[in-house]
Structure 1
């Protein structure tokens, strides 16, 4: 008998009723929650993943299970196999709007988020917060080794990508430019393209904003967002609609 599709999202451990400390894990869960597909979360670490990074997913449909890494390709698989409806199609996006969305998605994921990750792992005072938030429940020897290992690994990746070669001031300039672009776009419309329903780019932007506002290790970008009535309103609306259990996040965007 054919069973309903089900997704197991494998990502870093997540605190109950809080967004994930991984932007890509939170992005994927946002898509899953919006699509109303059956899913569950399961803890893992990047070194256990097929591509050495999270998230990856085990997707069961048509009586078989496939394992797919990378949030972008997971979403593509779900859409192309008819397991979820494409949010861009539901929102009525034109071909040009889809192209604009894809370009801005790359901007958020490959420029803004890398600059935020830089703050979390390169800046010593932020790294101390990252260690506490990510490995705080682990015994001291494990916490010490894991935080050192991931700092070594992440900073190496960032350096190879080019972001790690910048100064903190230059990284903050990248964050501010992206923040200003987001604020301008959402000041014009409720959603990125002005429709009545969120599209893929809205779900992506929300996932990363929720992640950034949850982590205490990227204070520069968090302060920018919390000073923006436009972006706080966007985050509040999306949270109430998709993740009403995120009470701390709601309190943060309401009280600022």
Structure 2
């Protein structure tokens, strides 16, 4: 039995983290026997990140490493897809660019931050929660400024992510999934990111952009409904 260590469910999603949701979908697609274990403290796991899985070989962290572990044991996340190069590009677009838009949408929004703080960090005693999370928030936003997107306004960020969303929609013109008629690995990354964006608990420019787009929102929900365990 594989134990998936994940951030808890929230905002209508199986986890606050799209990477944890992706890991759940990988386990489902691999037809693995697994159970979840919620944690709000990633510091004791590899790279101080979640998700992670506990398996006989030890603890394996990061959704990509979980993917590799399952593939080495026979899982096939590509099916009939031949254009794996484009698929990998979509994964990197979602995880190395779109994700940072999600982070800023939640952490940089002063109206939204109190909701994020009280949900993400509920395990921290209330008297300590504000000072501790204020430091975490400052460090996160400092990192986003160094990355570059943190220097942009919400309007500028929306323009920056627009080509990504257009690329996703272009692939969905002819098929229900990114790489064709069947679900495959890139869908687990891209749809999980779109679902997280739509689930942001207050309206934002990004949240409304995804929710109001019938192609993007329907695609994200289609993947979620198929892959999320009951």
Structure 1 SS opposite 2:183? coil
Give 5+ residue unaligned stretches, structure 1.
1-5, 246-256
- Pairing partner for 1:86 from 76, 80, 83: 76
Find 1:106's aligned residue among 80, 87, 92: 92
Deviations 1:89-121 (A, max 9, x none): x2x111xx1111111111111111111211211
Give TM-score scaled by structure 2 length.
0.88
Distance 1:134 1:214, change over 3 A: same
Matched, 1:53 2:68: no
Tell me the equivalent position of 1:3: none
Q: CA deviation at 1:235?
A: 2.6
Distance 1:187 1:168 in 2: 28
Q: CA separation in 2, counterparts of 1:16 and 1:169?
A: 24
**TM-score, with normalisation over the residues of structure 1?**
0.80
Report whether the alignment pairs 1:241 with 2:226. Answer: yes
Tell me by how many angstroms 1:198 deviates. Answer: 0.5
Q: Does 1:205 align with 2:190?
A: yes
Aligned to 1:181: 167
Secondary structure at 1:124's aligned position in 2?
Answer: coil
Taking structure 1 as reference, are residues 179 and 145 closer, same or farther at Cα in structure 2, changes over 3 Å only?
A: same
1:174-215 alpha-carbon deviations (Å, 9 max, x no partner) = 2333222222222331111223x2110012112222222223
Partners of 2:228 and 2:193 in 1: CA distance: 14
Say whether the 8 Å CA contact 1:79–1:86 is kept in structure 2.
yes
Is residue 116 from structure 1 mapped to residue 90 from structure 2 by the alignment? no
1:150 corresponds in structure 2 to 136
Shift of 1:138: 5.0
Q: CA RMSD in A?
A: 2.3
